Structure 1
Amino acid sequence: MTARVLVVDDLAANIKVMEARLTAEYFEVVTATNGPEAIDICSRGLCDIVLLDVMMPQMNGLEVCRRLKADPRTAHIPVVMVTALDQPADRVSGLEAGADDFLVKPVDEIALITRVKSLARLKTLTDELMMRAATSTEIGFDENMDPKTISGDGGRILLVEDMTASVDRVVGTLSRLHTVDVNADPQEALFSAAESDYDLVIISLSLANIDGLRLCSQLRSLDRTRQLPILVIADPDDKPRLLRGLDLGVNDYLLRPIDRNELLARVRTQIRRKRFSDRLRDNVQMTLEMAVTDGLTGLHNRRYLERHLNSLVQQAQDRGKPLSLLVLDIDLFKAVNDVHGHLAGDDVLREFSRRVRKAVRGIDLACRLGGEEFVVAMPDTDSALALLVGERIRQRIAGESFHMANGVSLDITVSIGVSSLESRADTPELLMKRADEALYRAKRDGRNRVAAAAA
């Protein structure tokens, strides 16, 4: 996987070394020699990952990171601090500023490339979600899409560890802010992670008699846990397996001995990132639903009907099964709007849709075609049964007054046209046309009735 990497350092020699290593792995490299220049490059969307030197004049790396993470336009860009400082307190300061990871000088080449690849995958996923969650006209950031508004506390965490001292330290540190479940058996932990709603899994790579990376791989292979953040705990001399874990999709790591503040900071970062991604996915799902759902009634819309009626007709013809269509039109609906106002009209449409939905089966497709016109497509339903369903809907509409929010009660009726598949030559257009003709006949004959298409 390639990406555009921004290398920020005030020393040209350091930039040259990083640039050579990254270019050899086919990454595109952008450079900056100071904080303001780096911020400008990021704000213009010219990089995917930032490798940021901590010790710089005028504006140090911590301040640059804070400013990047405070700006919704750049908050999702992964930042790796490159520093000669290797104390836990230094890492905590960076994590609190929003850094995603650290590389200690002199930078190990394998660690550099592995970490950049891992963060490039993360950035690609986040970019996809943000693009899909954006409006069709522009990418809009509001409070709900701003990572700063998302808390990293109060998470539910699964700890997979079999060393009592380590369990006590991790649970003792995290339990003040999070709920921590402990499981020493990796297979039980896998089932638990798949069945429960965790925000993070912490896995020890020092488990007795089993490779912790196997559990990491299994978590990444299951749909239910593929997006679940994984933080591993490793020994300092277990670097090869740690790098392998990052290749497998591990999100973050801690080295023993565990520093309590660093643990809290890394856990908070991972939980906040997961919640941000979940919010983006929810936004995407909501956008998809809005695209095929009528916002007023909650029924499917014309676009959904047009897409799915074709497949319903094709399936019925291929299987030799019946299929029927109801076209429903609320009688004299214009008078409701004219006399009682459009708010009352909306109340009628919502209640009408609720009654229609209750009168049909779960497999039936109920849609609002537009205005006061609705369609119900009914698989495995012949014309005789469709007439009975139409009559049931008509009675439910006419049998009880519609009570408006303003206290007014209205008597509403509906006219319904019915058509059914007649041959393999039938198309969705012919089916709709015959149902429309039947509906017009029901209207001409006095409304508040069900009419079948002419044979």
Structure 2
Amino acid sequence: MPARVLIFDPTVSSRILTRAALAEAQYNLVVAESSADAQVEMMRGRPDLILLGVVAPAAGAFAFLAGLRADPQRRGIPVIAVGRLSDPSLRLAVLRAGADDLCDRPVDPVLLQAQVRRLLRRSDSLAELCLREETHRALGFAEEGEEFLQPGRVSVVVPEGQAVLPAVVPVLDRLPGGGDVLDPRSLLTRIGSGDAADLFVIDAAAEGLRPGELFRLIAELRSRASTRHSVQIAIVPPDMTDMAAMALDLGVDDLVSARVRPAELMHRLKALLLQKHRADRAREKLRRGVENSVTDPLTGLYNRRYALPALKSVTDQAARSGRMAAVMVLDIDHFKEINDRFGHATGDKVLEEVARRLAARVRVGDMVARIGGEEFLVVMPETDAEAAAEAAERLRSGIEDRPFESNREGCPAPPPVRVTLSIGVALGAGERPGEPTLFERADAALYSAKLAGRNMVSLSRPAA
């Protein structure tokens, strides 16, 4: 479905010209000549982007922006202010009022379309992150927190031997996170070592940086893992609109003319750093939410939701390779008695310590999970019967050999807790339809260990 774009401009001729500039892109364009008309159109359907006509002294535009940014349901709609915006004070005032970008008249269709695409991409990316964040919050995996913007590192990129643009110098001096100046070769060397700034200011107006080099640099920064989520702003010559449009389409986050004033540049840099901070924060919440959904909150081990599909992946790989995999189901002996005698606080400490000891006694690449109250699962790819038996005995003895601390309140010298494990082990090179799975065989072997007296390892041999 094409994006819905609202053109709100009180001047008839300006509305016509703006609409014509976007006609080729085939957006769903709606127009409004007054604030009341604009409100009606927004009630009919939330626009994906607004093109706001600005005519000095721009009182109507300022009032519209103030109302839009105060509305919780609409404050996130991106806005491009369109008008004769050569006055630096007017440009800065419109940006501070809430416009996301500016487009000077006469409108260049190629550049305006690139500006629209850039803001629609940004809006879609933020909406996707926020949707995932809301989903995890609804499931209880993410928590609200105060937004605290830390100073970000800024790197200015200029061709070797060229001076920094005069408008950039005072901005660098005032940035709380500091900034440095690099040529493109030094920049790539630095980010190759994983040392990356939060924001890159690429001076493409300086002599020596051809359009092709700018485009490659933008693409390079977007492709590197260390700079993929950094933000970029390009400074371009005033009349090179094709170059500016291509830079936006390649992924630069903002763009200014070489005539930019320090105050406007500072505003844009702060806005980009805030944008990066919010996106990083949303990604981190998403990462924590995903992690919490597959881990046990008490022990930090994988939970059953993660472990069983991971086990299936290991057994499938074993079937393809023909190499044995070992599966262990482990159960703490008489765990209910531990809870009854020493209390649930001690029971929790026992579970945590058992998890720690198990995780410390398996190989890198093996999986340890808590799949029930006092039940654990260990999966060991590419493991034969001898190695599996040795590993199981190592896990069993690692629990038995050293008593656990108790947590009995009011007792000056709490007695130690003796803990033991029963372990069932199954091996196989994959699973056959109609036969017990490795997990089922390991579980049956665990039952045999319990019947035989507990605190032992029972091995289920591979099916013939």
Using structure 2 for the length normalisation, give the TM-score: 0.86
- Alpha-carbon displacement from aligned partner over 1:14-63 (angstroms, at most 9, x marks no partner): 44543454344111124445557757876997222122234599973334
- For the structure 1 residues 423 and 191, does the alpha-carbon distance in structure 2 shift closer, same or farther, using more than 3 Å as the test? closer
* Equivalent of residue 336 in structure 1, options 329, 335, 338: 338
> How far is the alpha carbon of 1:178 from its aligned partner?
2.7
Kept in 2: contact 1:34–1:59 (CA 8 A): no
> How far is the alpha carbon of 1:422 from its aligned partner?
6.0
Query: How many correspondences in the alignment?
Result: 450
Matches of 2:122 and 2:238 in 1, distance apart? 25
Kept in 1: contact 2:431–2:437 (CA 8 A): no
The aligned counterpart of 1:95 is 95
Aligned 1:204-283 pairs, distance under 5 A: 204-211=203-210, 212-283=214-285
Kept in 2: contact 1:323–1:381 (CA 8 A): yes
Q: Secondary structure of the equivalent of 2:135?
A: coil
Q: Secondary structure of the equivalent of 2:201?
A: strand
Kept in 2: contact 1:10–1:56 (CA 8 A): no
The aligned counterpart of 1:156 is 153
The aligned counterpart of 2:79 is 79
> How far is the alpha carbon of 1:187 from its aligned partner?
2.6
Deviates more, 1:206-215 or 1:155-164: 206-215
Matches of 2:67 and 2:346 in 1, distance apart? 50
> How far is the alpha carbon of 1:273 from its aligned partner?
0.5
Matches of 1:341 and 1:360 in 2, distance apart? 29
* Equivalent of residue 164 in structure 2, options 141, 155, 166: 166
The aligned counterpart of 2:441 is 434
Matches of 1:208 and 1:368 in 2, distance apart? 62
* Equivalent of residue 373 in structure 2, options 363, 371, 374: 371
- Alpha-carbon displacement from aligned partner over 1:219-259 (angstroms, at most 9, x marks no partner): 23434433321111122223321122112221112222341
> How far is the alpha carbon of 1:352 from its aligned partner?
1.4
Q: Secondary structure of the equivalent of 1:220?
A: helix
1:451 and 2:458 correspond: yes
> How far is the alpha carbon of 1:451 from its aligned partner?
1.3
* Equivalent of residue 191 in structure 1, options 170, 189, 198: 189
Kept in 1: contact 2:342–2:408 (CA 8 A): no
Matches of 2:263 and 2:363 in 1, distance apart? 56
Unaligned runs of 5+ in 2: none
* Equivalent of residue 299 in structure 2, options 263, 282, 297: 297
Deviates more, 1:208-217 or 1:425-434: 425-434
Kept in 2: contact 1:323–1:380 (CA 8 A): yes
- Alpha-carbon displacement from aligned partner over 1:61-114 (angstroms, at most 9, x marks no partner): 334434544556444432212233322222222232332211123433222212
Matches of 2:278 and 2:112 in 1, distance apart? 26
Matches of 1:142 and 1:257 in 2, distance apart? 44
Kept in 2: contact 1:39–1:68 (CA 8 A): no
Aligned 1:15-30 pairs, distance under 5 A: 15-30=15-30
Matches of 1:193 and 1:299 in 2, distance apart? 34
Kept in 1: contact 2:162–2:206 (CA 8 A): no
Aligned 1:50-65 pairs, distance under 5 A: 50-55=50-55, 60-65=60-65
Kept in 1: contact 2:316–2:430 (CA 8 A): no
Letter of the 2:156 partner, please give it: L
* Equivalent of residue 353 in structure 1, options 348, 355, 362: 355
The aligned counterpart of 2:200 is 201
The aligned counterpart of 1:318 is 320
> How far is the alpha carbon of 1:115 from its aligned partner?
0.8
Unaligned runs of 5+ in 1: none
Matches of 2:374 and 2:51 in 1, distance apart? 58
> How far is the alpha carbon of 1:292 from its aligned partner?
2.0
The aligned counterpart of 2:427 is 420
Letter of the 2:253 partner, please give it: N
Q: Secondary structure of the equivalent of 2:107?
A: coil
Q: Secondary structure of the equivalent of 2:371?
A: strand
- Alpha-carbon displacement from aligned partner over 1:419-444 (angstroms, at most 9, x marks no partner): 11167637895211111111111112
Q: Secondary structure of the equivalent of 1:60?
A: helix
Letter of the 2:157 partner, please give it: V
The aligned counterpart of 2:308 is 306
